[in-house]
Structure 1
Amino acid sequence: MADGTRLPVERWLPDGDPEAVLIGLHGFNDYAHAFAMPGRWFAQHGMALYAYDQRGFGRTEHAGLWPGTQALVADLRTAVRLIRARHRDTPIYLLGASMGGAVILAADGRGGLAGVDGTVLAAPAVWALSEMPFYQRAALWLSVHTVPWMRLSGAGLDRLPSDNIPMLRRFSQDPLVIGESRVDAIYGLTRLMGEALAAAEALRQPTLALYGRRDEIVPPGPIEKLWRRMAGRHTRALYDTGWHMMLRDLHAPKIWADIRAWIAQGGRGPLPSGADARAEAALDNGGIDPLPRPERIRAGVQ
C-alpha cells in the first residue's frame, strides 16, 4: 500500500485472458478467503477475482484493531490502481460483501473510484447509528468512551448469517476469522456504515445492490433507504433464499450467475433470476418483507 503496509492477496484466474476482473472486499472480521467459493466459479466462467485482506483483518499486521475509514478507502484505491495496471484493457468491477460494500460506498462518496467500471454490493453493511434503536446507540457510545478495548462476540444473539451450515462450521473454526471484536472496532464500523448510507445518492459507477429476505444481520430498513437513494443507472436485486453471507449460501450460484450476467451486459439488467423485478416490486408494495428461518434450520437439520 501507499505507506508500505503489505496486504495478503488471493486470486482465482481463468484459463486465458479474463473477460472481466472482480476485486473482492470481505466483510467485518473476515478475510480474503471469503471469496473462495465465488472466485472458483467466476474463474471457471471466464472472469478473474482478486481479493485482499483489508487492513486490520485476516493476516494483516495489527489484525483486530480498527484501521479507520480513510485507511480502508485509500487501500481500495491503491488496489484498484495496481490491478488495473495488470489488466489495462479489461473491465474492472468491485464486489463488496457486507462491510466491503460499505467501504466501496464510502470510497465513492469521498471522490469516486478511478479505473472502476461498476460495483456490486452484496448485503452491504449500511446499518448506520441513526438507524439503530436509542438504547443500542447509547450503550455503544458509553462503551467506546469507557472501555474501548473490551471485546464482544456474537454468542447468544441467535443470528444466523447463512443456510450453508458446513461453511459456517469451517468459518467459526478458522483462526484467521476474528471471533471477538473490540468495542472501538464496532464503533468504527457503525461510523463507516453511516457514511456509506449517506453516499448512496451520489453513486458514480453503475451499481448492483443485492439483498436477501433471510438476512438476519442487516435489517431491511437500511437496505430500503439505500435502494431508494440509488438514483440513475443502478440495479437492485432481492432474493427469497438469500442470507447475509449470500455469496456463500446454498443457493449462491444463482446470485453468482446474476452478477456475471449484469457485468456481461455492461452493468445493466435484467437479471436471469428475476431478482431485480422482485426488488422493484417490493419497493412499490411497502418495502422488503423478511422471511422467517426455515424449520429445517431451526431444528438443526442441514
Structure 2
Amino acid sequence: MKALNKLISFLLFLPLSGCMPMSYPPGEKSQTAQLTDNVYLTEDGASLPLRSWLPAAEPSAVLIALHGFNDYSNFFDQPGQYFSTLGIACFAYDQRGFGGAPKRGLWAGGSAYADDLQVFVRLIKQRYPKRPVYLLGESMGGAIIITAMKNPDMPMVEGIILAAPALWARRTMPWYQTGLLWTLAHFMPWLTLTGKGVHVTPSDNIEMLRALGKDPLVIKATRVETVYGLTNLMDAAFSSAKSLSGNTLMLYGEKDEIIPKKPTYAFLQQFLASDITEKTVAFYEHGYHMLLRDLQASTALKDIAAWINLNPEKQLPSGADKRARAVLSQFSSITFRK
C-alpha cells in the first residue's frame, strides 16, 4: 500500500503536458454492412473476423455471442459446437481492436461496439427472419450488450444471456485504484500492462488457460487507455441496471476473481427490482469468471440451452437459479462511495 501511494504521488507531479486517453472510433459510413462466411464487413469498411457454428438442419433459434476483454470470437468454439448440436445456429465476431480485427489493442469506444452489435443483429435477423435471436455476452461482451439494449434503434431480440458481465464500475472501486488509473491514462496512456504479478484465477480449466497463453490472437499486453475505456463501459453498464428489461438470463460464478461480488450483487439488486418474471439469475458455487470454459462448463451450457428452449420462468436444470435467490436474499442493501 505504501509503495502504491508513492507511485500515485510521483505520477500526480508529472508535467501537466501529459496525454489524454484516446479511443479509436470507426471511420465514416461508406457502404452497406454485410456478412460473408468468415467476415463481418461493417458500414465503415472494417473487416471483422466471423465464426459460425451451424446445425445440420434449419435452426430452431440463433445465438449471437460477444467475447470478453483481450479475447476474440474463438472463445465460443466449445459452446458453439454444443449449441449447434441442439439446433441453435451460433455466430461470433472479433470486435474492433481484438483478435484479428483492425487496430489491434486500441479501444474503439463503447458506442462503437454497441453500434456494431446493432447492425450485426439486423443482418442476422434478415438472414433468419422467422427464428428467435438471442444475444450472449461474456464479461466485456455482456457489458456491451447491456449498454446496446438502451439504444432505441436496437432490433428486438428474444432474450439476452450475460455470462459474468463486466460490472466493476468506478464507484465500486477503492479510491487509490481509480486514482491510479486516471493518472496513468492521462499521463501515460500508451503504457502497456501485462498482468504479471497479479495472482488471480480466471478459471479452473488450466489446460484451456495454457492454450490461451500460447494463442497469438489473445492480447497479453494492454494499453492503459484501453483499460480506461473498458472502465468507462463498465460504468455505463452498471448504471443501466434499472433500464435493462425483458427476457434476461445472468450467470455468475461464486469463485469469480475478475469481477468482484459486491458490484455484481449491487447491480442485481437494482436489476431485479422490476419485471422479475422475465429475469433469471444463476449462481454457480464452483464457477469461475470463465464459466463457459470452466471444467464444469457443461452445467452452465445446459442451463442456457434449457432457458432458451423453455419458458424462462421454468427452473434451470442445475438449480443455480435457486442458489442465486438464496445468496442474494442475504444482501438487502449495498452502498458505495458517491
Calculate the TM-score normalised by the size of structure 1.
0.93
1:252 paired to 2:293: no
Give the CA deviation at 1:151.
0.3
What is the RMSD of the two structures over their aligned residues, measured on CA atoms? 1.1
The Cα of 1:112 is off from its aligned counterpart by 6.3
Contact 1:209/1:227, CA 8 A, preserved across alignment: no
After TM superposition, the structure 1 = structure 2 runs for residues 71-220 of structure 1, keeping only pairs within 5 Å, are 71-111=112-152, 113-220=154-261
**AA partner of residue 125 (structure 2):** R
SS at structure 1 position matched to 2:242: helix
Contact 1:27 1:99 in 2 (8 A): yes
Partner of 2:322: 277
Tell me the secondary structure at the aligned position of residue 202 of structure 1: coil
Percent of aligned pairs sharing the same letter: 48
Residue 110 of structure 1: how far off its partner (Å): 3.2
Match of 1:234 in 2: 279
| 1:145 partner SS | helix
Q: CA deviation at 1:226?
A: 1.7
1:96 and 1:235 map into 2 onto residues whose CA distance is 15
Task: Map Cα deviations across residues 31-62 of structure 1 (whole Å, 9 max, x no partner).
Answer: 00000011111111111110000111110111
Give CA deviations for 1:52-111 in whole Å, capped at 9, x if unaligned: 001111101111000001100000001101111111111110010000000000111233
How far off its partner does 1:285 sit? 2.1
Letter in 1 for 2:220: G
Contact 1:38–1:247 under 8 Å retained in 2: yes
- Is contact 1:112-1:204 (8 Å) kept? no
Runs (4+) off by over 6 Å: none
Letter in 2 for 1:219: P
Q: Secondary structure at the match of 1:115?
A: coil
Deviations 1:155-205 (A, max 9, x none): 111111000111000001100000011000000000100100111211133
CA contact (8 A) 1:98 1:125 kept: yes
1:262 aligns with 2:307: yes
Deviation at 1:222, TM superposition (A): 1.1
Task: State how far apart, in whole Å, the 2-side matches of 1:159 and 1:48 are.
Answer: 34
Structure 1 unaligned runs (5+)?
Answer: 288-302
Structure 2 partner of 1:290: none
The one-letter amino acid paired with 1:221 is: K
Number of residues of Structure 1 aligned to a counterpart in Structure 2: 287
SS of the aligned residue for 1:8 comes to strand
Q: Secondary structure at the match of 2:280?
A: strand
The answer (yes or no) to whether the contact 1:108–1:199 under 8 Å persists in 2 is no
